[in-house]
Chains A and B, each alone.
Chain A
Amino acid sequence: MNDLSTSSQITYRAVPIRPGVIRRIRGLSDQALAWLFITPTIVLLLAINIFPLVWTIYLSFTNYRANRPNAPTLWLGTDWYQSILTDPDIWAAMQVTAHFVVWTVLIETVLGFGLAFLIDKKFRGHGLWTTIILLPMMLSPAVVGNFWTFLYQPQIGLFNYVVAFFTGRGASSFQMLGDVTLSPWAIVIVDAWMWTPYVMLICLAGLRSIPDYIYEAAEVDRASNWRQFWSITLPMALPFIMLAVLFRGIENFKMFDMVNLLTGGGPGSTTEVASITLKRAAFESWRTGYSSAFAIILFVTVFGLANIYVKALNRVKSR
């Protein structure tokens, strides 16, 4: 009570603002105020995004090496671009990347949508199962890479024993990571295991967004389950599926950590995806100019493909 009575006695006094200050703030146009607010963001973007990009583009035309900052920097024009685009090793790395991206995205989409479709049906323990399915994507790629290396170990690895159990061949008779034919599939399996839940999650959001009344109307029209799936479920979930494909496609195009841990690009160069080639050029050989040009080529490729894809996605959404 005492406190309240004390506070009620507080009197407020207007602080006089100098007329000059009012004039200056009043003098600012809406546009100027807008600039005032967005300038810090723009400065930050320029410093950490645009400047490095422009600098990388500049370096890609030079012979610059980060480990020899005192050496003279020569302007090479488009030499690096020409040499990269005509290098069979680079094209081999791009093929490995394409194989990895296409198969992982395909498998993850099919399995992810399938799982989402099943999880969408209410059943007992469905929450628990959803959590269990989501576990792999919550792990660090470093952890996943290391423990799959053990799972694939021909003498003690569980994977080989499971395959041996079902096929009858010896567990040590094949090696997933050391075999030229099997190693590209070994990394696809691990990526699919880890990221299918992510696709499932996005597809599940799509399925849950379909209003029930559409299915009810279809039931009234005596549409079969199969017809409902093709005419309602799939078209309405398609934008979400396409979004998941876009995310996984971009992510896997620049895949590095897991492949590096599982195979290091081997055997030979069988699983050497583009990002591993880039890392070796940039941080092992220190060919900064060359690797900048390669990074720009990869960036333009992903950016171009993603743009085409987003246009297609918008077309599907507007239907």
Chain B
Amino acid sequence: MSMAGPTVRESVMKQTVNALLTTCGVLASALGVGVGTTPAHAQAKTITLCWAAWDPANALVELSKDFTAKTGVGMKFEFVPWTNYADRFLNELNSHGSLCDLIIGDSQWIGGAAENGQYVKLNDFFKKEGISMDDYMPATVVGYSEWPKNSPNYWALPAMGDAVGWTYRKDWFARPEIQADFKAKYGRDLAVPKTLDELRDIAKFFQGREIDGKKVYGASIYTERGSEGITMGVSNYLYDYGFQYQDPKKPYSMDGFVNSPGAVKGLEAYKELYKCCTPPGASNSYMSEGLDAFKSGQVALQMNFFAFFPGLYKDPNVGGDKIGFFSNPAGAATQATQLGGQGISVVSYSKNQAEALQYIKWFSGGDVQKKWWALGGYSCAKSVLNDPGFPNSAPFAGEFLKSMGMVVDFWAEPSYAQLLQAEQKRVHDYVVADKGTAQEALDGLVKDWKAIFKEEGKKF
């Protein structure tokens, strides 16, 4: 017994050890961690790119496969819906998180991100790699890359050009009975509106009309309260009616510019459009609600960012010949539109900055920019936009180009979130909740913005 015992125990031990080693081996090979078994083409590193969850993000995933194929650097993506996008990623940046190596951050974040050291300054990198900002549309360089504005300090590469535009039901506009009815009522042809007044007339005309046995409505516009929606919408009216953020000769001086008589009229016009011509329950609409309203055939007109237009054009129900596109019409003072879009930046807290910069260099390439546009992203590169064939390359390309020539952006100050909240509240209170007058809303906004800038130590 004393001899047999140890022999059995030893053989059991051997079997157990062998089984364990075999299991570890299988696991290791399954996970690809076996020493000396890594194939030569295996990915050296993986970097994470953070952006909003929307159509262009899917195009970027497709595009980035070329980067991985070329460099061996793997790509991970962190996409967050627009309504939580700012909350999620500003929290990440403010808490010095290293989740994102690259971030396609909103244009308004650039002041805060630059001053708080959250983005890597790219001037030296651009110089070393021969990347010139002269190769990009000026509006996108100012909007997405520079801080302070109009100074050669670059914190991002213009990545996704965007602006607010409009879509309309081309098929409805073309119907003879609707054409005749409109002409009888307004004394002119039903056509793409050139002014905001014409747009209101068209929206009024369609509001409550029955088309194909279904009640339809005039327009879907931005009214969202929680993040930035109503500000992104109302700005298109305010700019057109003469609103300016500040005295061009005296920075941060806002009296008579933010609350000018023209701006007041612009705000009143936006409220009029909301009250007369939007579908029921549109008191908290932003991008996705607008898309839903248009795709379901509820509205004749839709305000939305150009970024969605490639997807809408492909839509089987309302796309193709049924949809038309136009840039924001002119108001009483000028014709302008709200800038959207973003630049791509390297996060200072990233542990993979070299690979992130490698991505930016690759992304700036001419061929990559062309493919980016072809896949559904909006390139900001002049090589793409100034190509003679560009305006005809897509039904919305010409209008996009026109819009990018007249964009205006919201404040990009470090305190932008506070400034934005103040406008969200003042405008929503007036437009949706019927509180006070337009003059009171804009006077209140000036008061709020002054208090914020005063807290920031700005002199005006």
Binary A-proximity of B86-97 (CB < 8 A = 1, otherwise 0):
110011011000
Partner of B432, one of A66, A172, A267: A267
Q: Is A227 part of the contact surface with B, judged by Cβ < 8 Å?
A: no
Which of A32-40, A123-131, A282-290 lies on the face that meets chain B? A282-290
- Tally chain A residues at the interface, Cβ within 8 Å: 33
A residues engaging B (CB < 8 A)? 63, 66-68, 70, 89, 152-155, 157, 172-173, 175, 177-180, 260, 263-270, 280, 283-287
Contacts known (A68-B116, A283-B87, A286-B417); A267 close to B94, Cβ less than 8 A: no
Residue in A closest to B226 when the chains form the complex, CB atoms:
A264
Residues of A within 8 A of B389 (CB): none
- Shortest CB distance B278–A (Å): 10
- The answer on a CB contact under 8 Å between A180 and B112 is no
Contact A67:B284 (CB < 8 A) given known A178-B432, A284-B87 = no
Which one of B226, B282, B418, B430 contacts A285 once the chains associate, using CB atoms below 8 Å?
Answer: B418
Shortest distance between the CB of A146 and any CB in chain B (Å): 13
- The chain B residues found within 8 Å of chain A, CB to CB, are 86-87, 90-91, 93-94, 112, 116-117, 224-226, 279-284, 414-415, 417-418, 421, 425, 428-430, 432-435, 455
Contacts of B116 in A (CB 8 A): 67-68, 70
Q: In the complex, which of the residues A66, A266, A280 contacts B428, with contact meaning CB atoms closer than 8 Å?
A: A266
A180, B433: Cβ atoms closer than 8 Å: yes
Inter-subunit contact B280/A172 (CB<8 Å) = yes
A155 to B401, CA, bound (A): 37
A266 touches which one: B91, B112, B418, B433 (CB < 8 A)? Answer: B433
Assembly CA distance A161 to B91 (angstroms): 41
B417 touching A267, Cβ below 8 Å: no
List the B residue with the shortest CB-CB distance to A285: B418
Return chain B residues, CB-CB under 8 Å to A283. Answer: 87, 91
Tell me whether B429 and A155 are in contact (CB under 8 A): no
Can you name 4 extra interface pairs (CB under 8 A) apart from A67-B90, A265-B226?
A155-B281, A267-B283, A269-B429, A269-B433
Kindly list chain A residues whose C-beta atoms are within 8 Å of the C-beta of B279. 155
Say whether B94 contacts A67, CB under 8 Å. yes
- Indicate the member of A153, A175, A179, A268 with the most B CB atoms within 10 Å: A268
CB pair A266–B280 under 8 Å, yes or no, is: no
Rounded to whole Å, the gap between the CB of A190 and the closest CB of chain B is: 15
Asked if residues B281 and A266 are in contact (CB atoms below 8 Å), the reply is no
Q: Which residues of B contact A269 (CB under 8 A)?
A: 425, 428-429, 433
Note all chain B residues with C-beta closer than 8 A to A172. 280-281
A154–B281 CB distance below 8 A:
yes
Q: How far is the CA of A70 from the CA of B435 in the complex (A)?
A: 40
Q: In the assembled complex, how far is the CB of residue B207 from the closest CB belonging to chain A, in whole angstroms?
A: 12
Query: Does A266 contact B94, Cβ atoms closer than 8 Å?
Result: no
A268 and B87 contact, CB distance less than 8 A:
no
B226 and A67 contact, CB distance less than 8 A: no
Measured in the bound complex, the distance between the Cα atoms of B93 and A12 in whole Å is: 63
Q: What residues of B have a CB within 8 angstroms of the CB of A68 in the complex?
A: 116, 414
16 contacts between A and B (CB under 8 A): A67-B93, A67-B94, A67-B116, A68-B414, A89-B425, A152-B281, A155-B280, A172-B280, A177-B284, A265-B226, A266-B283, A267-B283, A267-B428, A283-B91, A284-B86, A286-B417
Residues of B within 8 A of A280 (CB): 421
Check if A285 sits within 8 Å of B433, measured CB to CB. no
The answer to whether A287 and B418 have CB atoms under 8 Å apart is yes
Chain B residues with Cβ under 8 A from A180's Cβ?
433-434
Docked-complex contact B225 and A265, CB < 8 angstroms: yes
